[in-house]
Every structure is written in structure tokens, then in C-alpha cells.
């Protein structure tokens, strides 16, 4: 009776929906009270720069989680895409490098989707294996060294990583555009409804005439493609292709999506809430830095947040 009353109470339901936003506001307020540097323009700009790459990754992860899976290979894909982009643009035009980096990410996502959707291999095993294989490929082709070139990467690409529009970094504007496109795709199109249906009940979606294999494969392809975009963005920001880039990005992205209210069981989630989850993770890391918390303790804190997000998702599912 109590659970039914809570579920039917619109006020409680509305408050529950705003928990991620309230958590973000709380972290910001507490940090602002403890550190006068938090609200400085330099620090706020730093937060936006740190969030922009993770936001793009989390967009793709949202598609995968809603479809009923997750992707542990996005961090390695970020590294591969960034190094391939840097290598290609040093050999040809910078635009070809950007295209190559994004294409590599799409291929990794497509392979993940094909194995999971067609061969029915568990997403954890598939993407864990892909994570290791892709990272190995990155280290193999770079010999573990950054790709910079004798005279650096092309000026146009460097400008993309440094340039500003209306006082805001170009790297920050790109996720804004991507968010508008993918929010429309996920929440306002028939394809988006099929993604939700597939994650909510795969068998029922199949009986309703949805090609669940194609939908699943496409979700992973989008995830890989956006990880490729993030890899190119990170290369522009770092002004090099870094083979060690993207470590632990997959865990941060999954945690951000779950903190935003998506269910690891699939069928539930919203793109804008995933973005709130990203800012929770980024602001928390930034706050710990400003408060001079040792890096070892920072890892412990972030790990506890990931566990808490998974536990909260499990409790939410049980209450239903």
C-alpha cells in the first residue's frame, strides 16, 4: 500500500525525478562555501572543458544503457580515435584525420553491436574484451608514445582545441549541438521509441515487430561513433594523440548515466539527465581537487559514487 501510494503521488514522483539536479546543486553549493575559487571564471571554464568530452561519451552510453546494455570499451575507443586522427592528419589534411578518428570509433561500436546482437554474447564479456583489444591496438600502433609530429598537429585543428566563440571554447559548443541532435533522435523519433522498447522488454519488442537486433547494433554503433568524436575532441584539447587517454572513462560515463536516472536493466533514461550526471561526476572531481584531497582518496570517492549509483538503481528497481 505504501509503495503504491508513493508511486501514484505526483509530488513525490516529481521530487524523485529532480534528485540528480538537487544532488548537483548541493555539491556546487557546498564546494562554493568551502572554496572561494570554485565560482571563479577560470574554474568554471575548466569544469566545462572537462565535462564536454565526457558529455559526448555519455550521450552514446545513454543509447546503449536504455537499449539494455552497456559499453566498457569507450575509454579505449577514445584513445584509438584520437591517435588515429592525429596520425592521419599528419600524413594528409586535418579534416581527413577528424573523419578517420570518428570512423574508427563507429567501427568499434559496430563490431560490439554485431557480436552482442547477432551472436548473443554478453555485453560485459564483449565490451570488456574489446576494451583490452582496442587498448592493445593503440599501444601497438603508437609504441606507447604520443603522436604529435615534428612541427605539431595542423594549426586548424589546434585552433579547434583552443578557439572560442562568444567567449566559450569551441569544444564546449560541439556537445551542445550534438545534444540537440541526439535528444531529438532519442526522444522524438520512432527510432528512439524502438530503443526504449528494446531495452524495456526485448521479447515484447520483437513480438511487436521491432528488429531488436538492428536496434541493439545501432545503439552500440552510435556509442562508438560518439566515443570517436570524443577522442578527436580530446586530441584537439591535448594537441596530440595520446595512447593512454580515456582510462576509466567508461566507468565515469556509466555512472553519469545511472546518476541521471537511467536503469541498468534498460528501457529507462533521458539524455538531459545523463548530462546532469556528467556534471555531478566532473564537479565532484573538481571539488576534491580544490579542497586539496589526495588523488588516492579522490579515486576512492569516485569509486564509492559509482557503487552508490548502481545500488540506487537496484533499490529503485526492487521498489517496483
Residue 5: predicted pLDDT:
46
Which of 55, 105, 110 has the alpha carbon at shortest distance from 253? 55
Collapsing DSSP states into helix, strand and coil, what is residue 247? coil
Please check whether residue 245 is in contact with residue 101, taking contact to mean a CB–CB distance below 8 angstroms: no
C-alpha cell of residue 52: 564536454
Task: Supply 136's cell numbers.
Answer: 592493445
Query: What's residue 168's pLDDT?
Result: 80
- C-alpha dist (Å) from residue 283 to 32, 48, 236, 258, 273: 11, 10, 22, 16, 15
| 192 close to 183: Cβ distance less than 8 angstroms | no
Q: What is the pLDDT of residue 319?
A: 61
pLDDT value of residue 122: 93
**Pick from 225, 247, 298, 272: which is nearest to 60 by CA?**
225
H/E stretch holding 127 reads helix 123-142
Neighbours of 78 (CB within 10 A): 35
Going by their DSSP bridges, the two strands 164-165 and 168-169 should be labelled as antiparallel
- Distance separating alpha carbons of residues 296 and 276, to the nearest angstrom: 25
How far is CA 186 from its chain centroid? 15
The answer to whether 173 and 113 have CB atoms below 8 angstroms apart is no
| Whole-number pLDDT of residue 266 | 84
Tell me what pLDDT residue 4 has.
47
- Could you list the mean pLDDT of each consecutive 10-residue stretch along the chain, which spans 320 residues? 51 68 89 90 90 95 94 95 94 92 96 94 94 95 84 85 84 94 95 93 89 95 96 92 89 89 85 92 91 84 80 68
Please say whether the beta carbons of 71 and 64 come within 8 A. yes
The total of other beta-carbon atoms located within 10 Å of residue 310's CB is: 15
- Say which DSSP state 188 is in: S
pLDDT for the residue 164:
85
Amino acid at each position: 500500500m505504501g509503495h503504491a501510494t508513493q508511486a501514484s503521488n505526483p509530488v513525490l514522483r516529481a521530487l524523485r525525478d529532480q534528485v540528480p539536479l538537487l544532488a548537483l546543486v548541493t555539491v556546487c553549493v557546498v564546494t562554493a562555501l568551502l572554496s572561494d575559487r570554485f565560482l571563479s571564471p577560470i574554474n568554471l571554464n575548466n569544469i566545462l572543458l572537462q565535462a564536454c568530452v565526457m558529455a559526448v561519451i555519455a550521450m552514446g552510453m545513454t543509447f546503449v544503457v536504455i537499449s539494455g546494455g552497456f559499453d566498457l570499451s569507450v575509454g579505449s575507443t577514445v584513445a584509438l580515435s584520437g591517435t588515429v586522427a592525429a596520425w592521419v592528419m599528419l600524413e594528409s589534411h586535418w579534416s581527413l584525420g577528424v573523419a578517420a578518428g570518428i570512423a574508427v570509433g563507429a567501427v568499434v561500436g559496430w563490431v560490439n553491436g554485431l557480436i552482442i546482437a547477432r551472436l548473443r554474447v554478453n555485453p560485459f564479456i564483449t565490451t570488456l574484451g574489446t576494451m583490452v583489444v582496442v587498448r592493445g591496438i593503440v599501444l601497438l600502433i603508437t609504441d606507447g608514445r604520443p603522436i604529435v609530429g615534428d612541427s605539431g598537429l595542423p594549426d586548424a585543428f589546434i585552433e579547434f582545441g583552443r578557439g572560442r566563440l562568444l567567449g566559450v571554447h569551441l569544444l564546449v559548443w560541439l556537445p551542445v549541438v550534438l545534444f540537440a541532435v541526439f535528444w531529438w533522435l532519442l526522444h522524438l523519433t520512432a527510432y528512439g521509441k524502438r530503443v526504449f522498447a528494446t531495452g524495456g522488454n526485448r521479447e515484447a519488442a520483437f513480438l511487436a515487430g521491432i528488429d531488436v537486433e538492428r536496434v541493439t547494433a545501432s545503439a552500440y554503433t552510435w556509442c562508438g561513433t560518439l566515443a570517436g568524436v570524443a577522442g578527436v575532441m580530446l586530441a584537439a584539447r591535448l594537441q596530440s594523440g595520446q595512447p593512454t587517454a580515456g582510462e576509466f572513462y567508461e566507468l565515469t560515463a556509466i555512472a553519469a548515466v545511472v546518476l541521471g536516472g537511467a536503469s541498468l536493466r534498460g528501457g529507462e533514461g533521458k539524455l538531459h539527465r545523463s548530462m546532469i550526471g556528467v556534471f555531478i561526476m566532473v564537479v565532484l572531481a573538481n571539488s576534491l581537487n580544490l579542497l586539496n584531497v589526495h588523488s588516492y582518496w579522490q579515486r576512492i570517492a569516485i569509486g564509492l559514487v559509482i557503487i552508490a549509483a548502481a545500488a540506487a538503481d537496484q533499490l529503485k528497481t526492487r521498489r517496483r
